[in-house]
């Protein structure tokens, strides 16, 4: 929220299809750190603006949903950024308006505050600019005597203008009253026959002061292609890794760990190489996530060991001191305090009591082809290797399930359950069988 008495409305332009993305998905919905691009910008803008309006294209209900609870308005015809800004005009309010592009997800609240400061210090129009190493096809900012005179789009620029290093970053701030006037005066007499938002700069500069606030290229880079999306993902991951380490986590090989925007890593957590965090993961203090593990929508309690090569799926809670080992998959499981599932196991839709040991190769058969069913295992139990637990089934406290058993009925507290055929031995039958088989092989 703004600290001044003048309210601030933020308008985010998100109607673009992003043709260079080669995608049916609206550009603003492409994901960065497992969150739609536009939501990164909304989260930042919420820190400075009193109201947010998102301009979307026709038939973009998913984008409107992503913008919720903020207001969305539809640009029914894509006639340029100036036309998109006009679409939001009824919601400008009577204070200041800041206009941003949805494909600039890395912009920081500090930079937005710098832009607002330029407005407060006398600029009728404040804009963001940058000096990229390769200006490429960015619009160029033409200055004179320290003030901005106009912005020329790359397609309309002369060779001399293309040599200018200061480029437009696409964010503008002015009073709602002034913007309404300037937007009403722009036309589409240009190479693309579009209404350019950037034309408000020349209109403002005719009689007013226009200032350019320069920020870092890495923060203002836009996303217009899959390659640029990957570059921005790299930047976001660097930020998230640095934040995790600054907050007290150890990343053995930071460049190989991938976070989601909402990943929560507490102090004294160790993360080994090649770990992927999907959305909705919290890891509590003193836990270790070993190499090549994949986690999503789960909570890892204190002093828990995960992996290596573990997959922790949505709905799973690993309580304090529990262990999940190599090639173990958990889905919608509560693994009690001190419980262990250390080898080659699938547990789905299950509750495992405290200090229970799950043997190698154990499977909870939770799906009958139509419905999911739950398995409940009590505390201090032991599930032998290669046990198959056919849900719905309840296994009591301190129960022991013999290795290789198929369990289809409930097991009471303290009981030992066998669910396998009785072993029998046929004297000499093994040798006779092998001799017969070898003879058949010799005979072809």
- Reference 282, options 317, 251, 249; nearest CA is 317
Examine the residue annotation and report whether 343 is marked as an active-site residue of this protein: yes
Q: DSSP states of 370-416 as a string?
A: S-B--EEE-TT-EE-TT-EEESSEEE-TT-EE-TT-EE-S-B-TT-E
Contact by Cβ (8 Å): 375, 389 = yes
Residues 6 or more apart whose CB falls under 8 angstroms from that of 384 comprise: 359, 400, 401, 402, 403, 404, 405
- Computed over its alpha carbons, how large is the radius of gyration of the chain? 31
The verdict on whether residue 27 carries a ligand-binding annotation is yes
The verdict on whether residue 207 carries a ligand-binding annotation is no
The verdict on whether residue 168 carries a ligand-binding annotation is yes
The verdict on whether residue 399 carries a ligand-binding annotation is no
- Reference 382, options 406, 400, 409; nearest CA is 400
The verdict on whether residue 346 carries a ligand-binding annotation is yes
The verdict on whether residue 16 carries a ligand-binding annotation is yes
The verdict on whether residue 80 carries a ligand-binding annotation is yes
The verdict on whether residue 385 carries a ligand-binding annotation is yes
Give the separation between CA 310 and CA 327, rounded to whole angstroms: 5
The verdict on whether residue 153 carries a ligand-binding annotation is yes
The verdict on whether residue 139 carries a ligand-binding annotation is yes
The verdict on whether residue 14 carries a ligand-binding annotation is yes
Our CA angle for 423, 426, 432, nearest 5°, is 135
The verdict on whether residue 419 carries a ligand-binding annotation is no
> Hey, what are 9's tokens?
């409305």
Q: DSSP states of 172-201 as a string?
A: EEEEHHHHHHHHHH----STT----TTHHH
Angstrom distances, CA of residue 346 to CA of 40, 273, 375, 395 = 35, 23, 12, 17
How many CA atoms lie within 13 Å of 339's alpha carbon, on the beta-carbon side? Answer: 29
Q: Which of 113, 234, 343, 373 is catalytic?
A: 343
Contact by Cβ (8 Å): 31, 258 = no
Give the separation between CA 442 and CA 272, rounded to whole angstroms: 53
Contact by Cβ (8 Å): 177, 127 = no
- The DSSP letter of residue 258 is B
The verdict on whether residue 331 carries a ligand-binding annotation is yes
The four Cα atoms 82, 88, 89, 90 give a dihedral, to 10 degrees, of 160
The verdict on whether residue 126 carries a ligand-binding annotation is no
Q: Is 168 exposed, middle or buried (0-12, 13-18, 19+ CB in 10 A)?
A: buried
The verdict on whether residue 367 carries a ligand-binding annotation is yes
- Reference 79, options 152, 15, 153, 137; nearest CA is 15
Question: What are the residue numbers of the active site?
Answer: 343
Q: Which residues are annotated as a binding site?
A: 13-16, 27, 75, 80-81, 103, 139, 153, 168, 224, 313, 331, 346, 357, 360, 366-367, 385, 403, 420
Task: List the binding residues for Mg(2+).
Answer: 103, 224
What residues form the annotated binding site for acetyl-CoA? 360, 366-367, 385, 403, 420
- The annotation places the binding site for UDP-N-acetyl-alpha-D-glucosamine at 13-16, 27, 75, 80-81, 139, 153, 168, 224, 313, 331, 346, 357
């Amino acid at each position: 929220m703004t600290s001044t008495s003048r309210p601030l409305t933020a308008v985010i332009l998100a109607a673009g299809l992003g043709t260079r993305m080669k995608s049916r998905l609206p550009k603003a919905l492409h994901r960065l750190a497992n969150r739609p691009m536009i939501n990164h910008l909304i989260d930042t803008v919420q820190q400075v603006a009193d109201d947010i309006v998102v301009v979307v294209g026709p038939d973009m209900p998913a984008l409107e949903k992503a913008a919720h609870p903020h207001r969305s308005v539809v640009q029914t015809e894509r006639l340029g950024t100036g036309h998109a800004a006009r679409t939001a005009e009824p919601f400008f309010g009577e204070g200041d308006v800041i206009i941003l592009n949805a494909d600039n997800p890395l912009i920081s609240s500090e930079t937005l505050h710098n832009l607002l400061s330029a407005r407060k210090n006398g600029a009728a129009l404040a804009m963001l600019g940058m000096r990229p190493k390769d200006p490429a096809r960015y619009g160029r900012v033409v200055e004179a005597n320290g003030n901005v005179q106009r912005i020329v789009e790359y397609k309309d620029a002369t060779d001399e203008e293309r040599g200018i290093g200061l480029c437009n970053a696409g964010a503008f701030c002015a009073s709602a009253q002034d913007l309404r006037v300037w937007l009403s005066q722009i036309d589409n007499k240009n190479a693309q026959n579009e209404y350019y938002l950037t034309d408000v700069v020349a209109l403002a500069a005719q009689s007013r002061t226009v200032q350019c606030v320069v920020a870092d290229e890495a923060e203002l880079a836009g996303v217009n292609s899959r390659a640029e999306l990957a570059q921005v993902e790299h930047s976001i991951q660097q930020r998230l890794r640095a934040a995790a380490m600054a907050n007290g986590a150890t990343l053995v090989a930071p460049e190989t760990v991938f976070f989601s925007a909402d990943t929560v890593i507490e102090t004294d957590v160790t993360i080994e190489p090649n770990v992927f965090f999907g959305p909705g993961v919290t890891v509590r203090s003193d836990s270790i996530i070993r190499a090549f593990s994949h986690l999503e929508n789960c909570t890892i309690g204190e002093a828990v060991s995960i992996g290596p090569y573990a997959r922790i799926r949505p709905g799973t809670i690993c309580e304090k001191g529990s262990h999940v080992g190599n090639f173990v998959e958990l889905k919608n499981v509560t693994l009690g305090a001190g419980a262990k599932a250390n080898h080659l196991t699938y547990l789905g839709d299950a509750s495992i009591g405290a200090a229970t040991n799950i043997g190698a190769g154990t499977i909870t058969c939770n799906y009958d082809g139509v419905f999911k069913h739950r398995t409940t295992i009590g505390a201090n139990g032991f599930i032998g290797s290669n046990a198959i637990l056919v849900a719905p089934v309840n296994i009591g406290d301190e129960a022991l399930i013999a290795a290789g058993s198929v369990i289809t009925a409930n097991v009471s507290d303290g009981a030992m359950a066998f669910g396998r055929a009785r072993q029998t031995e046929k004297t000499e039958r093994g040798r006779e069988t092998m001799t017969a088989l070898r003879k058949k092989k010799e005979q072809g």
